[in-house]
Amino acid sequence: MNTLVGKKAPSFQAEAVINGTEFVEQFSLDQFIGQKNVIFFFYPLDFTFVCPTELIAFQEQLSEFEKRNTVVVACSIDSKYAHWAWLNTERNKGGIKGVQYPLVADLTKTIAIDYGVLAGQYQIDNESVRFEGNPVALRGLFLIDINGIIRHQVINDLPLGRSVDEALRMVDALNFYEKNGEVCPANWNSSKEGLQATAEGIATYLGTHQN
């Protein structure tokens, strides 16, 4: 699996559900180029167990992403109709009602393939096609900057839920670097200072952060 960091985010047009109720036929991340950062994340399936905890957690922090000029978009291999049904099912019945950011439908699995998160691969044997593995997306997350370039990616196996706080920290780090030109050291957060990417800058930082 090749990293996409530093490369242009793969482009696509796909069906999606936005605002929890509205179908869009040709949704694309390209609409945000030049305007906003994007957190684009994949999850395996609608109506499952770990997935609603993640999608609801992103919704609960959606205003924090918006403050950082960042939109959140999710994607799975389910249809737009499955997305719509899940979005309109009460949370106490396994649904994610109240989630407002877009859910992209990747029925053909081509988006998951392009982003390197499909949990298996197609094999061609004697002119027949079979799939090896699990035909769903791993828990991939990509931070795409305002120029459409992927600056951060993380991919979890199916049982391992992600940290929304870490996604926010990565957005903060990107915005801090873009604004100040300083890099972000280990365990950096928005309450801490950065450092100059020079030998002197590193020496100064380490000298003032000794245990």
Cβ atoms of 113 and 42 closer than 8 Å: no
The residues that bridge with 104 in the sheet, in sequence order, are: 16, 75
- Let me know if 75 is a catalytic residue: no
Asked if 167 and 62 touch (Cβ cutoff 8 Å), the reply is no
Task: Tell me the C-alpha distance between 151 and 143, whole Å.
Answer: 6
Write out the two tokens for 67.
């403050």
Of residues 51, 99, 171, 174, which has the active-site annotation? 51
In whole angstroms, give the CA distance from residue 174 to residue 197: 15
Return the closest-CA partner of residue 36 out of 145, 143, 122.
145
Which residues are tagged catalytic? 51
